[in-house]
Chain A
Amino acid sequence: MNTSVEVRELGKRYGSKVVIEGLDLELGKGVIGLLGPNGAGKTTLLRCLATALTPDSGRMEILGLDPMRRSQRTELRKLIGYLPQNPGLYPHFTAAAMVDYIARLKEVTDRRIRKDEVQRVLAEVDLTEAADTRVRKLSGGMRQRLGIAQALIGDPKFLILDEPTVGLDPEQRMRFRTLASRLGQGRTVLLSTHQTEDIAALCDRVIVFSKGKVVFDGTAPELADAASGRVWASGRQPAAAQVFWRTADGRYRVVGERPPDGTPVAPTVEDGYLQFLGTGARAGA
């Protein structure tokens, strides 16, 4: 595998709260989805990789550079595109001015190149029309796309997108999937999400993250497969210890032990994910 990111024994804690401990990870080209419940430590991991946060322990090598070393870190930062979970954008800037400003901070110093680059990334996320609109007048979804646009500046070799599909309408989400798959062709795209449909639709590889640990690492079909034989449809509400939810037809979908009246159902990525979370939860308890 062509490894562009290598993480060894990574550890990060906030005060006494351990968020990531002893994490090993290798990332190659393609779109990689980081799936996990709230508080799993996805953002923390992405921030470490984006050099926004310094880990407490462990080693990282990203695109052949060591972010812990100051000189290499600056070099590396030019190669990374990062969409934070809550990208604060300047409300009184126009969309174009905002991206232009970020481009300057990314050391795109040539005026013409910068101008073209701003137009290009705005077009990528379908914001060309809104280029002169002030950020405070953009809708939530448009802001999210603007956040994605700024991450694309300078054609980064490693794209880190923290919950990029939040706030996007279905059409924009489709568009984003197309964009992300295309970007994943030549570079590493690491994105976090709660949306299992996103994962199924666009990720070459899925990492399920729970309590700072990798509980699954494989392809989307493998994740779905992991739940095969453990997904059931049932007419009665199962015991509280089970992972289940009520579906539109009034029956219950159960992931885990077979309920007394359970009939087997073909598993989805979501089932696989829930299956791992259940396991993870039990393992952590």
Chain B
Amino acid sequence: MSRPLFALVVAETRIALRSPLLWLLTLLTVTGRTVSTWHEMPNWSVEGVDTATSALVIGAGAMLAANLAILRDRRADALELTDPLPVRAQTRTLAVLVAYPLVAMAYAAVAMGMQIAGLLINSRPVGHFDVRELPAGVLPVALMAVLGAAVGRWIPHLFAAPVCILLFFWTLVQFPQSWLLPMVPYPKLAIDPVRPPAWHLLYAAALTLTVGTAALLRHGSRHPGLVLPGAGSAAAVAVALTLTLNSPAAAAAARTEDLRQSTRSVTAGADHCETLQTTRYCAFPSYAGWIPLWRDAVGPVVAAVPTAFRHRLPGITQRAGTGTFDPTVTSRNILTTMSWGRNGAERDSRRALAAQMAAAATGFPRGTQRGAGPSGCDARGRARTVVALWLIGQTEEPLPATSTRSSVRTDSGKPTERVVPASDLGAVDYGPAELAYARRLLAQSGARERIRANWTALTAPATTLDEALPLLNLNRSAASETPKGTPCE
């Protein structure tokens, strides 16, 4: 690097480092991502890609900043001042092409590091962390900075860079999983996604060099020292892309597409299964780390059920958001999703899973539709309601029932509002009395033994609360409300 070039690179680097565009967008990216993932347990297979993708926001800032740097003279009407100076315009472009990508990559790396640190707080990460996602996130940022400079050189108008950014993101959204993109923004599956091979990184790097050369060629120089590396990097783009698209990973990605349509998402065959204290837990292999979390939620509920009845309880099986569900699996299992709470939100995840087990143990229909009917059912004044809430209480404190409102059309076409009960037990309604009795039971010593001894009577759908109170050694404190909807079967 010649001394004048180096002096300019230092100056441009300093200007870039202070660019409010870059550090504001970096701050925004880190804050936004940390806030949005704060309550979710990280899965590296997804978070790695999302963290890399979020760096594109910084890339957009880099594109604008580099573009403004290239257009600095034009904006300030300073061409007359700078043109007749010894350092040539080409050298100045080169300085921007070196400084801005470097600074933007540093910002992106810091942003990614901070996001990863945030994801590690109070978490038990699952999935595979692919280190390649780090360069895969940082390289497109360099590409965008170089693109901003090239656009500034070829289309010297301020509108060009924003248009270019819109086009860039439009392409990403339009072809989200195409490996022709410099960065592949979405994992195809949350379960062990197939990602582009290392060749793809070479592709992104060569693309960056090619665009950079294109920016320099605008100055009219056809010097072999410029044209040859440019042609070389263009050839590298073609070669690396071919290797990417013909890699074993590409074939695997094509198979993944079939998998998405299959029932793999819920079948147990390929999953990692463990039986702990009579309950069978099945997770996708990379999610096996969450089985202890599920057991902590469900285990206390199962332990409270009399031993003789435990074999009838369902297992826990993880399901992905895509694919069709095998009914034999869904009928015998509680389905848990690909997410789990963190930083306080884990209590909701635990309560939801415990409640499904409690509902199953006390014979309540699980889920909204089956058994409960389209408008749910009312479990007020029934003994098993109190038992179910007490079972939930083994893990997390039971909560009052609420309802969901939705707008539906009647047969005559008139829109009406439908209110469906929603509680931890599903579309099952109960009142404050049931909750109060459950809380008293939770505070009472010997409740567990009494419930176990009278299990069959207490969980029979017909047993009323009044009949059950003596069995539970509770005195009547509050009158139960009369059921408002269809009683639960």
* A interface, CB within 8 angstroms of B: 47, 50-52, 74, 77-78, 80, 82, 84-91, 100-102, 104-109, 114, 147, 150
Is the CB–CB distance between A106 and B85 below 8 Å? yes
Q: Which residues of A contact B86 (CB under 8 A)?
A: 74, 77-78, 105-107
Name the residue on A nearest B74 (C-beta): A88
Q: Which residues of B contact A87 (CB under 8 A)?
A: 78, 80-81
Q: Which stretch (B4-12, B114-122, B180-188, B377-385) binds chain A? A: B4-12
Using a CB-CB cutoff of 8 Å, which residues 75-90 of chain B contact chain A?
76-88
Name the residue on B nearest A103 (C-beta): B7
Is the CB–CB distance between B80 and A52 below 8 Å? yes
Name the residue on A nearest B6 (C-beta): A109
Name the residue on A nearest B80 (C-beta): A84
Name the residue on B nearest A52 (C-beta): B84
Q: Which residues of A contact B4 (CB under 8 A)?
A: 104, 107, 109
Is the CB–CB distance between B82 and A105 below 8 Å? yes
With A104-B7, A107-B4 already in contact, the answer to whether A90 and B78 are too (CB < 8 A) is yes
With A89-B76, A106-B87, A109-B4 already in contact, the answer to whether A101 and B11 are too (CB < 8 A) is yes
A104→B82 CA distance, assembly (Å): 11
A78→B4 CA distance, assembly (Å): 12
Is the CB–CB distance between A88 and B85 below 8 Å? no
- Give 8 new A-B contacts, CB below 8 A, not counting A84-B81, A90-B78: A50-B84, A86-B77, A88-B73, A89-B81, A102-B85, A105-B86, A105-B92, A107-B86
A91→B7 CA distance, assembly (Å): 21
Q: Which residues of B contact A108 (CB under 8 A)?
A: 7
A90→B76 CA distance, assembly (Å): 5
A191→B81 CA distance, assembly (Å): 16
Q: Which residues of B contact A82 (CB under 8 A)?
A: 81, 84
A105→B73 CA distance, assembly (Å): 13
Q: Mark B1-25, 1 if CB is under 8 A from A, else 0.
A: 0011011100100000000000000
Q: Which residues of A contact B76 (CB under 8 A)?
A: 88-91
A147→B81 CA distance, assembly (Å): 9
Min CB gap B33→A, angstroms: 30
Q: Which residues of B contact A114 (CB under 8 A)?
A: 7
A109→B73 CA distance, assembly (Å): 21
Give 5 CB contacts A-B under 8 Å: A88-B81, A90-B78, A102-B85, A105-B8, A107-B4
Chain B interface residue count, CB cutoff 8 Å, equals 22
A114→B78 CA distance, assembly (Å): 21
Q: Mark B91-126, 1 if CB is under 8 A from A, else 0.
A: 010000000000000000000000000000000000
Name the residue on A nearest B83 (C-beta): A52
A90→B83 CA distance, assembly (Å): 14
Q: Which residues of A contact B80 (CB under 8 A)?
A: 47, 52, 84-88
A271→B113 CA distance, assembly (Å): 74
Q: Which residues of B contact A86 (CB under 8 A)?
A: 77, 80
A78→B385 CA distance, assembly (Å): 91
Q: Which residues of A contact B72 (CB under 8 A)?
A: 90
Is the CB–CB distance between B84 and A51 below 8 Å? yes
Q: Which residues of A contact B8 (CB under 8 A)?
A: 104-105
Q: Which residues of A contact B84 (CB under 8 A)?
A: 50-52, 77, 80, 82
Name the residue on A nearest B77 (C-beta): A88
Q: Which residues of B contact A91 (CB under 8 A)?
A: 76
Q: Which residues of B contact A90 (CB under 8 A)?
A: 72, 76, 78
Is the CB–CB distance between B7 and A102 below 8 Å? no
Name the residue on B nearest A49 (C-beta): B84
Is the CB–CB distance between B11 and A100 below 8 Å? yes
Q: Which residues of B contact A102 (CB under 8 A)?
A: 81-82, 85
Q: Which residues of B contact A150 (CB under 8 A)?
A: 81
Is the CB–CB distance between B78 and A104 below 8 Å? no
Q: Which residues of B contact A104 (CB under 8 A)?
A: 4, 7-8, 11, 87
Is the CB–CB distance between B79 and A88 below 8 Å? yes
A268→B87 CA distance, assembly (Å): 44
With A101-B11, A104-B7, A104-B11 already in contact, the answer to whether A89 and B78 are too (CB < 8 A) is yes
A101→B4 CA distance, assembly (Å): 11
Q: Which of A89, A101, A102, A104: most chain B Cβ within 10 A? A: A104
Min CB gap B52→A, angstroms: 32
Min CB gap B87→A, angstroms: 5
Q: Which residues of B contact A77 (CB under 8 A)?
A: 84-86
A88→B86 CA distance, assembly (Å): 18
The 8 A-B pairs at the shortest CB distance, nearest first, are namely A88-B78, A88-B77, A109-B3, A84-B80, A105-B85, A52-B84, A88-B76, A77-B86
